[in-house]
Amino acid sequence: MPTPAEAKVVPGLEGASASPPERVPARTREGRVTLSAWRMAITTATGTGAIVLVETSVGAVFRGEGIFLGWAQETLAAAYHALLPRGAPEVALNHPQLG
C-alpha cells in the first residue's frame, strides 16, 4: 500500500493513494466469454473504491466501484492514469487478449 508521501493529487481525490493494478477476470452483460481486466484499489480521505480497466476487442472500458461508482468514462480514465503507481505495468489499451 502506498505511503502518504506517494499520495497524488487528482481533482476531487486529494490525498488519494492507489495499490498497483492487479489482473482480474471480468464479464459483460452481453458477453459470453471472460475478459481480462486490471483492478486498482484506491483509498482517499473521503472513502475507498476501485477503478477497473476492462480490455475488450473494441477498446478499453473503465468501471468504477465504491466512491467511483457513476463516474464518467473520461473522468475514470484520467483518475486511473494519474493514480497509476510508478513502475506499474503499462496496459496496451487496444490489444485484445489472446489465449
Is there a domain that residue 88 lies in? no
Is there a domain that residue 90 lies in? no
CB atoms within 10 A of CB 97: 13
Is there a domain that residue 34 lies in? yes
pLDDT at position 50: 96
Grid cell in block for residue 97: 487478449
Is there a domain that residue 93 lies in? no
- Print the domain residue range for 33: 4-83
Is there a domain that residue 96 lies in? no
pLDDT at position 94: 46
As to burial, measured by CB atoms within 10 angstroms (0-12 exposed, 13-18 middle, 19+ buried), residue 80 is: buried
pTM of the predicted protein model: 0.76
pLDDT string in tens for the chain (99-residue length): 444 445 555 667 778 889 999 999 998 777 788 888 999 999 988 899 999 999 887 888 999 999 999 999 999 999 999 898 776 555 544 444 555
Is there a domain that residue 40 lies in? yes
pLDDT at position 2: 45
Is there a domain that residue 11 lies in? yes
Q: How many domains does the chain have?
A: 1
Contact of 76 with 33, CB cutoff 8 Å: no
Contact of 60 with 37, CB cutoff 8 Å: no
